[in-house]
Amino acid sequence: MRRALRSTLAGCLLGIALASGSPFGPPAAAAASKAPAPFRILPGPYSKKPTDSGGGTTSHFDIKGLTITVEFLEPDARASFLRKAASGAADPFAVPPGRPEIYHAVRVVFDNRSNADVQFQPGNVVLLTDLKAPQYAIDLTDIYRAAEHADGESDQASDQAFDRLAPAIFDSSTEIPRGRSMERLLVFGPLHPKWKELRVNFSFLQIGSESHSVSFMFHRQPLGG
């Protein structure tokens, strides 16, 4: 039952990535059809010379008492995160062994030590590569829409799976009360195969009555080279 439901969800997500008119556009669809050389996504700017990342995979930004941590998760880490945050839910973004990854999960942590509540709008986050191909994170509405056209489990079973997934993904306007922290995922579609550097831009992040924008830079680091 769980395996079949996972396959249904994965099929829905694959349809989102490859469908014409999807939010990821033609370059992303082309990227999904050809497997790039293995790589990691690490903090900092791209360099032609090999760099020592020091083992760090996270990027941090502090503003007005709010600390934001951003990290691109590897597939195993993504699956582990979803099991813990989504009541044991299987990873719907997984691909069969030997196939290239389609989705990129970004772990975002807000630690609000400011003197005000924080309002976060996931729709104001843009991933922008050095090839100037902007992407917005998928949301649960995208998944529901795809599921309406998918064959497989009953509507009730699909609804239950999506309900389990919801606490793990930033989907809509979210408040982080002062003194509290929150950790969820932003999930983006496939990247252009020739990208080298990207930024994750957070716009109109509201801390009390003040609006702020922050940016996180990451680069592509080939594996085994």
Q: What is the pTM of this model?
A: 0.81
Percentage of the residues of the chain whose pLDDT score is greater than 70: 72
Identify the pLDDT of residue 149: 52
* Phi, psi angles (nearest 5°) of residue 208: 65, -125
Tell me which DSSP letter residue 183 carries. Answer: E
pLDDT digits (tens, 9 = 90+) for 148-194: 555 455 556 556 667 778 889 998 999 999 999 999 999 999 988 89
Please spell the DSSP secondary structure of 53-89, one letter per residue: -TT--EEEEEETTEEEEEEEPPHHHHHHHHHHHTTT-
Which one is predicted more confidently, 80 or 17?
80
Beta strands in 80-170 (DSSP E): 104-112, 118-120, 125-129, 134-136
Q: What is the largest CA-CA distance in the chain?
A: 52
Identify the pLDDT of residue 142: 75
SS3 content of the chain, % helix, strand, coil (to 5): 25, 35, 40
Tell me which DSSP letter residue 110 carries. Answer: E
* Phi, psi angles (nearest 5°) of residue 78: -60, -45
